[in-house]
Structure 1
Amino acid sequence: MFILLWAGLVLWGTLRACSSCYGLAWCCGELSGHVHLVMGWLGVVGNSQGMFILWAGLVLLKQNVCQLSFSLLVFFRFDFCAIDSEKRPSENLGQVLFGERIEPSPYKFEFKKKVDCKPVCTKSYNTNKPEDKAHLDFLKKGMLLNYQHHWIVDNMPVTWCYDVEDGQKFCNPGFPIGCYVTEAGRPKDACVVNSDFKDKDTFYVFNHVDITIHYHVVENEAAGARLVAAKMEPKSYKHTKVEAPDCAGGPMYLNNKFSGELKIGYTYSVQFVEDTHIRWASRWDYILESMPHTNIQWFSIMNSLVIVLFLSGMVAMIMLRTLHKDIARYNQMDSVEDAQEEFGWKLVHGDVFRPPRKGMLLSVFLGSGTQIFIMMFVTLFFACLGFLSPANRGALMTCAVVLWVLLGTPAGYVAARFYKSFGGEKWKTNVLLTCFLCPGVVFADFFVMNLILWGEGSSAAMPFGTLVAILALWFCISVPLTFIGAYFGFKKTGIEHPVRTNQIPRQIPEQSFYTRSLPGIVMGGILPFGCIFIQLFFILNSIWSHQMYYMFGFLFLVFIILVITCSEATILLCYFHLCAEVRHHTPSYSATSTSVPR
């Protein structure tokens, strides 16, 4: 179980470090007479062929002006509109760890002030110039791969809502930078939404957005209002007058074989709509309800419960039938000779508590596993209660890191207590391994991936100052707390065993195939993995797609089911190994270690 959790942490570190750059946004949740609206989050991410380029980030309070912001680095390569005069806000630790980068943008508007086809900037290109041609080629590649803009207002994603099958409405937290019609005349991706997109081998640029801000007037607050929804609709216009656009022309197209001069004017429109039906506390509902994942989540829960019931039935059968029957037969023995004729798990009762050959590593894994287990449980519990909602950018990761740092004491205590029970005497080595082995593997993996991101110039690369801060938290807080826990653990007496250990180790008979270590690990990992594979899919999909994972209620429930499943699977496998007269400690922690892929 503890190896499973540690392996999951290693997996997360690898995926996060390998993921491409992105950013997110923050802002305030109240609109007042002074227009304290913070508008945020513009960027680009690819969602095709595993290509992920960039997300973006957010807004600043600028007197009565609303601003959008976006992350730079790869974003500027698309040659979209930019601004250089604004200072970027700072991110918290969780945002930096997730690679969120925030930069200002030129989109500005005031609360409750309607904007119609306001120009942002105009980009001019000449294919005879190598630099301009490179910009156009990169833009066409982004449209071909269906790269996405992502915006956030008041820490809510600006959604593009459109009708899907069965009359349902799907709200996508992003919209493409453009689309492509193939040489055969088949529209790809977002080109299907407009019948005017019909020219063969042609790209259509979404250079205009209609933004609709829904707000709810708050009672008993002077001139106050709260943002409850933000929606947009991408459009394409070929502005004939770039200085005074009217957003009434045909689509902005770019033939794949185009050569010459081209001007792309970027514009936007904004309107504010009062909504009395949506409360601020439930403003995420319209997004979550449109997601098709809820039914799948309930199916996952039912699947996990079936597995738990199956394992519980097997454990109950063993306890009520096998053990009860064996104990009853043992109590009916008339002589010691009859008892000596017994076989199975009773023959190794004097050897199962023999100190393991690698008690040092086992105790270290138990200590580190305890630390990670408590961290995960507390983090998911608070997230389930709503304290770590997606609206609090970076709060989830910040909470996890802080908890891991502060939980060094139970890690050191558990490792020291078990190591002392195993008869170990190298307490310094035990404490140092507890402090540095598992965290060191994760950090080394993360650091190597971060070096690669640094070399590629990715904005997801962690700054050097943040690395120093993490090392300071590790060495200055976590390590001393681990030593404190180990001190109290070694002061305690060792765990007393219920039976005396035999002086001479019993020889282990030849094992059948299914009682060997490798088949046991495989069989022990299948059932717990079956409980979490659907949740694991959504989590990994969120990491790779740089999406917000918000189903913490489902995740916490599945986590509890996973703990129960791992415990019961371990009980079963340990019992089968004891019946085969295997006294080693390995099945107790390796049986379910394959539940999460490494």
Structure 2
Amino acid sequence: MGSHPSSWLVLLLLIAASVCEGADGASVPRRSLLGSQKHHYAYRQDVPLYANKVGPFHNPSVSYQYYYLPFCKPSEGIEQKLEDLGEVLEGDRMTSTEYDLPFRVDKEHEKLCSKTLTVEEVQKFRQAISDDFYFQMFYDDLPIWGFIGKIAKEATGAMSYLLYRHVHFDIHYNKDKVVEINVSTDPLQTVDISDDEPVEVDFSFSAKWYTSETPFKRRMDKYLRYSFLPQHLDIHWFSIVNSCVTVLLLTGFLATILMRVLKNDFTKYAQEEAAAGEQDEVGWKYIHADVFRFPPYPSLFCAIIGAGTQLLALVFCIFMLALVGVFYPYNRGGLYTASILLYALTAGISGYVSAGFYKQMGGTKWAQNLLMAGALFTLPLFLTFCFNNSVAWANQTTAALPFGTIVIILLIWGVITAFTVVGGIAGKNYSSADFDAPCHTSKLPREIPALPWYRHVVPQTIMAGFLPFSAIYIELYYIFASVWGHKIYTIYSILFIVFCILIIVTAFITIGLTYFQLTAEDHGWWWRSLFCGGSAAFFIYAYCFYYYYGHSDMTGFMQTSFYFGYMSIICYGSFLLLGAVGFRAALLFVRHIYKAIKCE
């Protein structure tokens, strides 16, 4: 593999994932694993079927192991499928079942088991039906869902809780491969569990096999019907057109500034220079000796730019994988695994950028700077994870990570920190020591004149965040419905276009507001540009409340803590990313205009 650090990192993370697999349960017989890997089956050969989880339909973060409910358990004991790191983070906990569905063998009312439900078990099933519980299974890696039961209203007005006792499978095959499976529950074969008394239940299933012309490589296409295609595609394109119009208007606005206002400024300043200083300098040229004065708290500022640059690189890498088809529907945990690996591989970017800027600002507290760069995003994420994982443990859900997985995450965090330090050392030793400033900076800063209220930080931040948010808010609904619902987002090309538009709008609006700030002779643009760039994240978090209370049926403390906790981390990461974009755009603009005039 060689001695390149990235190679060793990949090896370490792969070993970690393997350890994580073995930490979550007993291994499944190799016969089943081979069948799952090859997807080729002979007549009557066993096809692996795993029960994954159950949970309330409207609370996607709240899910339990399949045998949390008293279903029929395998007579030989429950065996857990080995899972990779992404599947564990996804909340998958796949186990063996009593269902026997060999390849191309029809079943007619096959008996699973007969069991007498105790009063406690009846109450558990009834509560699950009341909460609209669903179950999820995987048959040859194809996901299937069904509901536990239903509530029926009788003529007297009373509510009856009916437990489904029969499950039917319709399975389609093409030659020696399974290409489709559908599951249904028979509404006529139910058991009334409305009363608190023991109930005898005969659980059964049936299966019917059909030939199909669907090629194996297209067997996942059917799950696109759960995405937003095609009925919402027009809305997506409307979102793109709306965003493009916003970009064009903003581009035209800034073009007017750059081509007309700046041209007038350059002409005026040239005339003043020709008049040998007979007129006092006014406007943004007046503060040329202060505009490149480094901001307060330079270590924190550089760490934010470094962390934001790393997240920008991470997002672009994930989009590249998505556009080439890596994240197909129900690629279990693929996005989680890719995000962890890519974040680890890009950790050096954060250290390098942060240390490079810090070196140019004359910083000396390198350990503090690198510690901030490494922990600025990961520490809040880890603290949020600890709180939510504790809540999940208390509720005994599959969202609670096993101890072995937590150890692996801590090891990966250590690797990320190490690579951040390596990147920081490289930035300190190999980046340029001179900050590219066209103007000399005076020893004493000029006093910033009194400004009207609308030029203060908060009004400008609100103004800066509104336009980028308006360019993406239509697409946000579909993203939220995918992340916090049961829809599937598959049109990554549109999402990538929207993201690029977001970056462009953020850069342009930050440049425009920076220009107005400088014309008001306010030279404190460093932190202002960062907050203006990242301000769209505040609007996104406000949208979280609107979606939660206006477009979802999520309830309960655990779901609420997961939703607002992790969305706060996502919005915080968006702030770092967009803040870095805004600052870099403003820096390029400021350098450009001050290089175009004579400032001595």
**TM-score, length-normalised on structure 2?**
0.77
How far apart, CA to CA, are the structure 2 residues paired with 1:133 and 1:413? 62
How far apart, CA to CA, are the structure 2 residues paired with 1:441 and 1:108? 46
Of 142, 161, 173, 1:215 maps to 173
Write out aligned runs for 1:22-101 (5 A). Answer: 27-28=36-37, 30-33=39-42, 35=45, 37-48=47-58, 50=59, 53-54=62-63, 72=65, 75-83=66-74, 85-101=77-93
Of 457, 464, 474, 1:524 maps to 464
- State the match for 2:436 in structure 1: 496
The one-letter amino acid paired with 1:108 is D
1:514 matches 2:454: yes
How far apart, CA to CA, are the structure 2 residues paired with 1:444 and 1:546? 27
1:117 matches 2:88: no
CA contact (8 A) 1:252 1:264 kept: no
The one-letter amino acid paired with 2:169 is I
- State the match for 2:153 in structure 1: 182
- State the match for 1:427 in structure 2: 366
Q: Residue 483 and residue 204 in structure 1: after superposition, are their counterparts in 2 closer, same or farther (change >3 A)?
A: same
How far apart, CA to CA, are the structure 1 residues paired with 2:374 and 2:301? 14
CA contact (8 A) 1:77 1:138 kept: no
How far apart, CA to CA, are the structure 2 residues paired with 1:183 and 1:325? 80
Structure with a larger share of its residues in helix:
2
Q: CA deviation at 1:360?
A: 0.9
Q: CA deviation at 1:413?
A: 1.0
CA contact (8 A) 1:31 1:111 kept: no
Q: Residue 285 and residue 392 in structure 1: after superposition, are their counterparts in 2 closer, same or farther (change >3 A)?
A: closer
How far apart, CA to CA, are the structure 1 residues paired with 2:227 and 2:434? 53
Deviations 1:435-457 (A, max 9, x none): 22321221122122222322333
CA contact (8 A) 1:408 1:482 kept: yes
Write out aligned runs for 1:324-339 (5 A). Answer: 324-333=263-272, 334-337=274-277
- State the match for 1:163 in structure 2: none
Write out aligned runs for 1:4-15 (5 A). Answer: none
1:152 matches 2:120: no
Q: Residue 504 and residue 236 in structure 1: after superposition, are their counterparts in 2 closer, same or farther (change >3 A)?
A: same
**Equivalent pairs: percent with the same residue?**
29
Q: CA deviation at 1:508?
A: 0.8
How far apart, CA to CA, are the structure 1 residues paired with 2:186 and 2:99? 16
Write out aligned runs for 1:134-533 (5 A). Answer: 134-158=120-144, 174-182=145-153, 200-217=158-175, 225-237=176-188, 251-254=189-192, 256=194, 258=195, 260-276=197-213, 278-289=214-225, 291-292=227-228, 293-333=232-272, 334-337=274-277, 340-343=280-283, 345-475=284-414, 477-491=415-429, 492=431, 493-533=433-473
How far apart, CA to CA, are the structure 2 residues paired with 1:280 and 1:51? 29
How far apart, CA to CA, are the structure 2 residues paired with 1:577 and 1:313? 20
The one-letter amino acid paired with 1:234 is T
How far apart, CA to CA, are the structure 1 residues paired with 2:202 and 2:129? 17
SS of structure 2 residue aligned to 1:151: strand
Deviations 1:157-205 (A, max 9, x none): 33xxxxxxxxxxxxxxx332111123677xxxxxxxxxxxxx8522232
CA contact (8 A) 2:298 2:358 kept: yes
Q: Residue 550 and residue 123 in structure 1: after superposition, are their counterparts in 2 closer, same or farther (change >3 A)?
A: farther
How far apart, CA to CA, are the structure 1 residues paired with 2:140 and 2:259? 57
The one-letter amino acid paired with 1:479 is T
- State the match for 1:540 in structure 2: 480
How far apart, CA to CA, are the structure 2 residues paired with 1:320 and 1:414? 32
How far apart, CA to CA, are the structure 1 residues paired with 2:445 and 2:266? 24
How far apart, CA to CA, are the structure 1 residues paired with 2:134 and 2:326? 29
How far apart, CA to CA, are the structure 2 residues paired with 1:459 and 1:299? 38
Q: Residue 260 and residue 473 in structure 1: after superposition, are their counterparts in 2 closer, same or farther (change >3 A)?
A: closer
The one-letter amino acid paired with 1:211 is F
Larger CA deviation: 334-343 vs 265-274: 334-343
CA contact (8 A) 2:355 2:366 kept: yes
How far apart, CA to CA, are the structure 1 residues paired with 2:169 and 2:87? 26
CA contact (8 A) 2:389 2:400 kept: yes
Q: CA deviation at 1:263?
A: 2.0
Q: CA deviation at 1:478?
A: 2.1
- State the match for 2:533 in structure 1: 592
- State the match for 1:562 in structure 2: 502
CA contact (8 A) 1:413 1:488 kept: yes
The one-letter amino acid paired with 2:468 is P
How far apart, CA to CA, are the structure 2 residues paired with 1:553 and 1:139? 43
CA contact (8 A) 2:454 2:460 kept: yes
Aligned residue-pair number: 497
**TM-score, length-normalised on structure 1?**
0.77
Gap runs ≥5 in structure 1: 1-24, 56-71, 126-131, 159-173, 186-198, 218-224, 238-250
Gap runs ≥5 in structure 2: 1-31, 542-567, 569-600
How far apart, CA to CA, are the structure 1 residues paired with 2:60 and 2:350? 39
CA contact (8 A) 1:30 1:36 kept: no
CA contact (8 A) 2:53 2:92 kept: no
Q: CA deviation at 1:419?
A: 0.8
SS of structure 1 residue aligned to 2:201: strand
- State the match for 2:583 in structure 1: none
Deviations 1:446-477 (A, max 9, x none): 122222322333332122222222222222x2
Q: Residue 412 and residue 259 in structure 1: after superposition, are their counterparts in 2 closer, same or farther (change >3 A)?
A: closer
Q: Residue 453 and residue 54 in structure 1: after superposition, are their counterparts in 2 closer, same or farther (change >3 A)?
A: closer
CA contact (8 A) 2:254 2:508 kept: yes
- State the match for 1:164 in structure 2: none
Deviations 1:19-62 (A, max 9, x none): xxxxxx994462332646333444322124x486426xxxxxxx
How far apart, CA to CA, are the structure 1 residues paired with 2:136 and 2:347? 38
Q: CA deviation at 1:506?
A: 1.7
Q: Residue 532 and residue 89 in structure 1: after superposition, are their counterparts in 2 closer, same or farther (change >3 A)?
A: same
How far apart, CA to CA, are the structure 2 residues paired with 1:440 and 1:338? 56
Q: Residue 404 and residue 261 in structure 1: after superposition, are their counterparts in 2 closer, same or farther (change >3 A)?
A: closer
- State the match for 1:14 in structure 2: none
